[in-house]
Amino acid sequence: MKRFIALFSALIVATGVMMAQDAPKKYEIKSGTFTTVSEVMGQTIESTTYFDDFGRLETSKVNTFGMVISTISRDGKVYMVNHSAKQVQEMPAQESINYLDLTDEVVAKYQIKELGKETVGGKDCVKYSLEVTQMGQTAKLTVSVWCGIPMKTLTSAGGMEVTATVKELTEGDVDPSVFEVPTF
């Protein structure tokens, strides 16, 4: 279980799910949605991410293992919402990798290397390798990025692998209600 949590944490850092509101834009697209399919321990998990203000507002929703879970990033905070159990947990925004703003410090910390180009979903992506250490576990990742959006991520840690690929991307306005934190 520790390996799975470390793997999941590394995936969150690498895909930039948690980000402070006052951060620079993280996507080159103002607003839209993308649906990602992940292969995790023999399970296929589909999640939908909604974003606005170039990624400064973001909600990811996944229906897995009989639960509906959302992660809402706004106002410098992250809200983990378990819709099935009607619970909300508030946390400070965590560090994440912003592929539009790869500073020397971030490149060194995560050992980021550009590997070339890859086409994913018809989008010409820049491919990176990196390492994320969480809870004593190091995950190795390969991420293909288009306009700041991780279109494909391969995460490997402790003998486990997760592949996440964007299968659908739509640019355009998003209903603002998806960024509201529910009160149960």
Q: 65-106: per-residue pLDDT in tens?
A: 778 899 999 888 899 999 989 999 999 887 789 999 999 999
In CATH, what is the architecture of 2-179?
Clam (2.50)
Question: What is d(CA 94, CA 29) in angstroms, rounded to the nearest whole number?
Answer: 22
Write out pLDDT tens, residues 110-168: 999 999 999 999 999 999 999 998 878 899 999 999 999 999 999 998 888 899 999 99
Alpha-carbon distances, residue 68 vs 3, 91, 103 (angstroms): 22, 19, 35
Q: What is the CA radius of gyration of the chain?
A: 15
Output 4 or 160, whichever has higher pLDDT.
160
- Smallest CA-to-CA distance from 174 within 14, 35, 58 is with 58
Both tokens of 47, joined, read 């999640």
Write out pLDDT tens, residues 120-132: 999 999 999 999 9
pTM: 0.84
**What residue ranges in 53-182 does DSSP mark as E strands?**
57-64, 67-74, 77-82, 87-92, 113-120, 123-134, 137-146, 149-157, 160-171
pLDDT at 113: 98
pLDDT at 23: 64
pLDDT at 92: 86
